[in-house]
Structure 1
Amino acid sequence: MRDGIDLPEEIVIQILVYLPVESLVRFRCVSKSWDSLITDPSFVSLHLRRVMARQDRSVVLLRHYSLTQCKERNTLYLDGESFSEHQELEFPLKTNDTYYLAGSCNGLVCFSDYIINNLQVILWNPSLRKCVQLPIPRFIDTDLTHTYVLGFGFDSRREDYKVVRLIYILGKSWSVIVPPVVEVYELKTNAWRGIQTAVPYVIPESSSQAFVNGAIHWIGYNLDDKVASHSKSIVVLFDMHDEVFGEMELPKGGDYENRLNLSLAVHQDSICLLHCHPMEEDGHQLYGVCWVWVLKEYGASDSWTKLFTINIGQHGGIGRVLSFRKQGDVLLVTHNDELVSYDLRSQRISRLGLYGVARSFEVIPYMDCLVLI
Structure 2
Amino acid sequence: MGKPMNMKHGKVRTHIPHDLALCILSKLPVKSLKKFGCVHFYSLSGDKCENMVKLNFQNPFQEDDPLGFVLDSGSITGILCVYQYHNGKTAFWNPTPEEFKIIPPSPFLFRSPYQKFVVNPLGFGYDIVRDDYKLIRCVGYFNLEYEECEELGISWSDAPWKDLSYEYLWEIYSLKSNTWRKLDVNDSACSCFSNIAGVRLYTNEMCHWWQYGKKYDGVEVESFDLRNEVFFTTLVPLGDVYSKSLYMVGLNGSIAFISWTSGTTTFDISILCEIGVKESWTKLYSIGPFSCIEHPIPIGTWKNGFVFFRTKDNEIVLYDLQSQMIEELCIEGEHFSHILPYKKNLLSIGGINQ
1:209 equivalenced with 2:206 (yes/no): no
2:111 alignment partner, one of 141, 149, 154: 141
Does the 8 A contact of 2:218 with 2:238 survive in 1?
no
1:137–1:314 distance in 2 versus 1, CA, 3 Å: farther
Counterparts of 1:197-236 in structure 2 under 5 Å?
Answer: 197-206=185-194, 208-224=199-215, 231-236=217-222
Does the 8 A contact of 1:123 with 1:134 survive in 2?
yes
Structure 1 match to 2:45: 80
Does the 8 A contact of 2:251 with 2:305 survive in 1?
no
Does the 8 A contact of 2:252 with 2:303 survive in 1?
no
1:338–1:367 distance in 2 versus 1, CA, 3 Å: same
SS at match of 1:97: coil
Structure 2 match to 1:63: 26
Distance 1:159 1:238 in 2: 17
Question: Percent of aligned pairs with the same residue?
Answer: 23
1:289–1:369 distance in 2 versus 1, CA, 3 Å: farther
> What is the RMSD computed on CA atoms of the aligned residues?
3.0
Does the 8 A contact of 1:311 with 1:347 survive in 2?
no
1:182 equivalenced with 2:170 (yes/no): yes
2:260 alignment partner, one of 249, 252, 276: 276
Relative to its length, the structure with more helix (as a share) is 1
Structure 2 match to 1:16: none
1:237–1:133 distance in 2 versus 1, CA, 3 Å: same
Unpaired runs of at least 5, structure 2: 1-18, 146-164
**1:253-283 Cα distance to aligned partner (Å, 9 max, x none):** 533235x71221111211111212211xxxx
Relative to its length, the structure with more strand (as a share) is 1
Amino acid at match of 2:185: T
Given the two structures, how large is their TM-score scaled by the length of structure 2? 0.73
Counterparts of 1:23-172 in structure 2 under 5 Å?
Answer: 58-64=21-27, 72-82=37-47, 84-85=49-50, 87-94=52-59, 96-102=65-71, 103-104=73-74, 105-114=76-85, 116=86, 118-138=87-107, 139-141=109-111, 143=113, 144-150=115-121, 151-170=123-142
1:61–1:316 distance in 2 versus 1, CA, 3 Å: closer
Does the 8 A contact of 1:152 with 1:161 survive in 2?
yes
Unpaired runs of at least 5, structure 1: 1-55, 226-230, 280-286
Distance 1:289 1:63 in 2: 25
Amino acid at match of 1:262: L
Distance 2:83 2:225 in 1: 21
Given the two structures, how large is their TM-score scaled by the length of structure 1? 0.70
Amino acid at match of 1:213: N
Q: How many corresponding residue pairs?
A: 296
Note the C-alpha offset of 1:211: 1.0
Note the C-alpha offset of 1:163: 0.8
Note the C-alpha offset of 1:182: 0.6
Structure 1 match to 2:13: none
**1:46-102 Cα distance to aligned partner (Å, 9 max, x none):** xxxxxxxxxx87221222389xxx984322222335452252142422364232122
1:232–1:78 distance in 2 versus 1, CA, 3 Å: same
**1:222-272 Cα distance to aligned partner (Å, 9 max, x none):** 4336xxxxx32111112212222220121x3533235x7122111121111
1:314–1:355 distance in 2 versus 1, CA, 3 Å: same
Note the C-alpha offset of 1:127: 2.4
